[in-house]
Amino acid sequence: MLRWSGGRALAIIFVTVLLDMMGIGIIVPVLPSLIARLAGEGISNASVIGGWLFMAYSATQFLCGPLIGNLSDAYGRRPVLLLSILGLGVDYLVTAFAPTVGWLFVGRLLAGLCGASYTTACAYVTDVTPPADRARAFGVLGAAFGIGFVLGPVIGGLLGHFEPRMPFFVAAGCSLLNFVVALFVLPESLPRETRRRFDVRRANPLAAMQVLRTHPHMTRWALAIFLTFLAQAVYPAVWAFAAIERYRWDATQIGLSLAFFGIVSAVFQGLLIGPSIRRMGERRAAFASLAVAMLTALGYAFATEGWMIYGLIVAGGFQGLAMPSVSALMSHEVEADAQGELQGAVASLQALGSVAGPPLMTGVFALCTNGRFPVQFVGAPFLVAAALFLVATLLLPRHRRLDPA
């Protein structure tokens, strides 16, 4: 790997994902206020627009994710990562200057086109990490995500208290800094002799998911992953809107809650995933994590006071082990030259869940908070998420031989 040890390369990818996620986390606390200002709507109706914005991003990512994964298999991880990171920086600038809601959609489409850096980072990790260590490596990437959400929402909440657009300029700066760091210090991880010719048929988002049919258990894994991502859409889509509606939180309070979530995620995924996998195995860790996710969603649905959220964040920290465990299990089933394709297929599943999830969750939220539906309940979207987590748990294959020796 160009004389770079796996550990050092992983550290660089960690920083890349950290800066990327910090840029994303900055904008979350202020997005409801910006939508409400541009659309001239209240929080309930603004949440619907927010759901469609998330959907636009995810739909574009679904169409482009397999293309990005296959391009990285053919031309290397480094150029794909660099273009993805730079594109996100441009997106934040477009959003910062957006004069209408329509321009917010332009920004989301651009972000979806270039937002595959995490997918390519996962493929990079498989290049430089032995199979037995991949679950822990995926957990390290999860920790970078968590730490990014410690710093990002705090900055966004504080800056958004003065001006909702200001955090978008800071997010653009984070992405551009991310680009500069990666440009100078990130080596290529995929040797030329292990690359394969680019085939546009494999870049088709539906054809790319054919890799999920190469093992008899892959279909069930795929459906469980899709339902998990569908359920998880409740958090980015509804969290800020629900906090404003139920607890009357401002951008700073929303940012602090997301930062606390990031701390818990970093601790669980960065420090506890290794011991948990060794003790339970990847299969059992996936089961336990999804069960915790279901119970936590139920807790969010019925939490009547803002301070309860912090206890639920701690209790639900273990759910962060689900995707690293599942990703590691699935990576054992494909060849080294198809890891990018696998991660592209998983990204497509995530995008499909994220396409359907935000309008579903914000639609339920708006319906149950607009004062016209017979049942008015802010926690309704979290009940829907809990049901989806339950079904995903029941779908997971129970065969012990799925765990690597």
Identify which of 54, 36, 57 has the alpha carbon closest to the alpha carbon of residue 45.
Answer: 36
Query: pLDDT at residue 405 above 60?
Result: no
Give, in order, the Cα–Cα distances in Å from 275 to each of 265, 269, 282: 15, 10, 11
Is 103 within a domain?
Answer: yes
Least confident of 64-78, 140-154, 335-349: 335-349
Structure tokens at 337: 């030259």
Q: Rounded CA gap, 313 and 243, in Å?
A: 14
Residues 215, 217, 222, 228, CA torsion sign: negative
- The answer as to whether 116 is a domain residue is yes
In whole angstroms, give the CA distance from residue 330 to residue 346.
Answer: 10
- Given a cut of 60, is residue 400 above it in pLDDT? no
Asked whether the beta carbons of 264 and 314 are under 8 A apart, the reply is yes
Q: Is the pLDDT of residue 311 over 90?
A: yes
Lowest model confidence (mean pLDDT) among 132-141, 148-157, 199-208, 371-380 = 199-208
When pLDDT is averaged across residues 213-240 and rounded to a whole number, the result is 81
* pLDDT for res 90: 86
Q: What's the chain's average pLDDT?
A: 80
Note down the domain range covering 105.
Answer: 6-184+212-402
Distance set, CA 194 to CA 76, 144, 306, 368, 371 (Å):
10, 28, 52, 53, 59
Of all residues in the chain, the percent with pLDDT exceeding 90 is: 13
User: pLDDT band for position 2 (50/70/90)?
Assistant: very low
Specify if 203 maps to a domain.
Answer: no
Domain holding 120: CATH number?
A: 1.20.1250.20
pLDDT of residue 398: 63
Domain count, the chain: 1
Domain-located, residue 206: no
Checking if the pLDDT of 163 tops 80, the result is: yes
CA distance 140 to 145: 9
Residue 172 lies in a domain: yes
Mean of pLDDT values over 364-382: 88
Predicted local distance difference test score (pLDDT) of residue 222: 79
Does residue 198 fall inside a structural domain?
no
At 13-66, the pLDDT tens digits run 787 777 777 767 777 788 888 888 888 877 888 888 988 888 888 788 777 777
Q: Please report the pLDDT score of residue 382 as a whole number.
A: 96
Answer for the pair 376, 368: CB distance below 8 angstroms, yes or no: yes
Alpha carbon 284 to its chain centroid, in Å, reads: 22
In a domain, 191, yes or no: no
Residues 6+ apart with CB under 8 A from 51: 237, 358, 359, 360, 361, 362, 363
Residue scoring higher pLDDT (285 or 338)? 285
For residue 93, which of 169, 186, 159, 16 has the smallest C-alpha distance? 169
